[in-house]
A and B are shown apart, each in its own frame.
Chain A
Amino acid sequence: MMPADYLSVVLLIAGGIFFLAGTLGLLRFPDVYTRLHALTKADNVGLGLIVAGLALHAESWTVVGKLLLIWLLVLLAGASVAHLVAAAARQRGIKAWKR
């Protein structure tokens, strides 16, 4: 294996751990707002790391561009949808969980 392969393995595994943590947050956090925190932030980082890991193996620059484009669109969709879900929950009067 080349050094780039090791780096890409580390990035892909780290990305998977973030997705796992995001899913665990979705299951463990107490209400819709806290769950949105887990999903948007952990999955954004997880996908970013996976995209970085795959980009190291891309055969051309257009593939790197495509991967980056995917990450940016998921970022945009994730942040906007999280906001819309949270706003809808507020409008329905769902109270935020308190410690």
Chain B
Amino acid sequence: MRTLNQRQRLGTTPRNTVFARLQSGCLRAVLFALMWWILTDGAMDSWLIGAPVVLLATSISVALLPPFSWSLPGVVRFVPFFLWRSLSGGVDVAWRALHPRLPISPGLFCYPWRLPPGLPRVFMANIVSLLPGTLSTELGTDCLQVHVLDERKDFLSELETVEQRVAAMFGISLLPPESVDSGSIQRRRMK
């Protein structure tokens, strides 16, 4: 999500933003129409109500969530990655819950953000909770607090992969690691 300030900084002209609004409005209208079609089982006479509803939903959506950048190849590559990782997340936690000795060793960690604020961070926080062994507990201003089910596992490389995939999905680049205070903040352990 770009704020007005960021847009000005990026030097986008108002003409471009109107175009972007139209473009994303059209795309969202298609998605809402698809949803209406699914919900009404494709009944033709339902479009009398459906068409105004789709238009209303689209205008509310564009007003509440202005257009943001995203990349189709990033999204296409994200889907199988997410399905596979969330399946193994489920298998992992089910195995631990069924194991007689309950093999868990939880811990809280602070993972410094390299994604820009807004939608990408919220998206990553949600995804992290569905992947193996990690649960986002707080969206901090400079780091994502993560509860880890088993700290002996390599959850860091998992988080790094997710971060890269999310960035690719939104068509953005991550902040360079040097800009993050690597020594003190990085992978800081919480009490």
**Interface 1/0s, chain A 88-99, versus B by CB < 8 A?**
011000011111
Interface-side segment among B12-20, B68-76, B111-119, B131-139: B131-139
**Nearest chain-A residue to B93 (Cβ)?**
A41
Contact check: which of B96, B106, B125, B129 meets A99 at CB < 8 Å?
B106
Chain B stretch 71-110: residues in CB contact (< 8 A) with chain A: 83, 86-87, 89-98, 102, 104-108
* B35, B94, B95 pick with most chain A CB within 10 angstroms: B94
- Given A41-B132, A79-B130, A96-B147, 7 further pairs, Cβ under 8 A: A21-B97, A22-B93, A24-B97, A34-B104, A45-B90, A46-B90, A96-B106
Cα of A22 to Cα of B130 in the assembled complex, Å: 13
Bound-complex Cα distance A71 to B114 (A): 30
CA distance A12 to B96 in the complex (A): 21
Interchain CB contact under 8 A, B133 and A96:
no
**Which of A17, A38, A95 has its CB near the most chain B CB atoms (within 10 A)?**
A38
Q: Which residue of A lies closest to B191 (CB)?
A: A95
Q: Whole-angstrom distance from the CB of A76 to the nearest CB of chain B?
A: 7
* Nearest residue, chain B, Cβ from A63: B41
- CA A25 – CA B96 in complex, angstroms? 8
Task: Classify the secondary structure of A's interface with B.
Answer: helix
Cβ contacts under 8 Å, A34 to chain B: 104, 106, 147, 149
Q: Cα distance A37–B86 when bound, in Å? A: 12
25 CB < 8 A contacts A-B: A18-B90, A24-B97, A28-B97, A29-B97, A29-B102, A33-B135, A33-B137, A34-B104, A36-B135, A37-B149, A38-B93, A41-B86, A41-B89, A41-B132, A42-B93, A44-B86, A44-B89, A45-B86, A45-B90, A62-B37, A66-B38, A83-B136, A87-B138, A96-B106, A98-B106
Cross-interface CB contact of B129 among A45, A79, A96, cutoff 8 Å: A79
Within A59-99, which residues are at the interface with B (CB < 8 Å)? 60, 62-63, 65-66, 69, 75-76, 78-80, 82-83, 86-87, 89-90, 95-99
Select A97's contact among B97, B98, B106, B130, beta carbons within 8 Å. B106
